[in-house]
Amino acid sequence: MSKKTMLYMKECAPIFSMLQDERRQEITQLLFENRELSVSSLTEKLSLSRPAVSHHLKLLLDTGLVMVRQEGKERYYQLNLKTALDQLKNLTASIEKDIEQMK
């Protein structure tokens, strides 16, 4: 693989790491279906403790896969997939280019 492809893989590694966890997959699915949810709503829907949900959301937030907005005392989360999708598209295109060059 090219150096460019390897750089794209490193860039995408945190995305893969975040999405390998089933609970974070559930959170992203719920946020996709509902556009935006509070920690309280996610806690109810997932049957997880509030600290556990908050932990997963912090990891997703740190990776840039979700965004948060504050309204009073409640925090509302929504997906932020544009950057991640762009990174994954770059990786895919680079791999395809590498494969073409092998022919």
Residue 73, domain CATH: 1.10.10.10
Q: How confident is the model at residue 53 (pLDDT cuts 50, 70, 90)?
A: very high
Q: Is 20 exposed, middle or buried (0-12, 13-18, 19+ CB in 10 A)?
A: exposed
What is the mean predicted confidence (pLDDT) over 49-69? Answer: 96
Report if residue 18 sits inside a domain: yes
CA dist 42 and 31 (Å) reads 9
Task: Flag whether 102 is in a domain.
Answer: no
What mean pLDDT comes out for the span 2-29? 96
Which 3 state secondary structure label does DSSP give 73? Answer: coil
The answer as to whether 101 is a domain residue is: no
Position 47 pLDDT exceeds 90: no
CB 57 within 8 A of CB 41: no
Structural domain including 77 reads 3-96
Task: Summarize the confidence of residues 38-67 as an average pLDDT.
Answer: 96
The count of structural domains within the chain is: 1
DSSP H helices, the chain, are: 3-19, 22-34, 39-46, 50-63, 82-102
Mean pLDDT, rounded, for 12-24: 95
pTM of this structure:
0.85
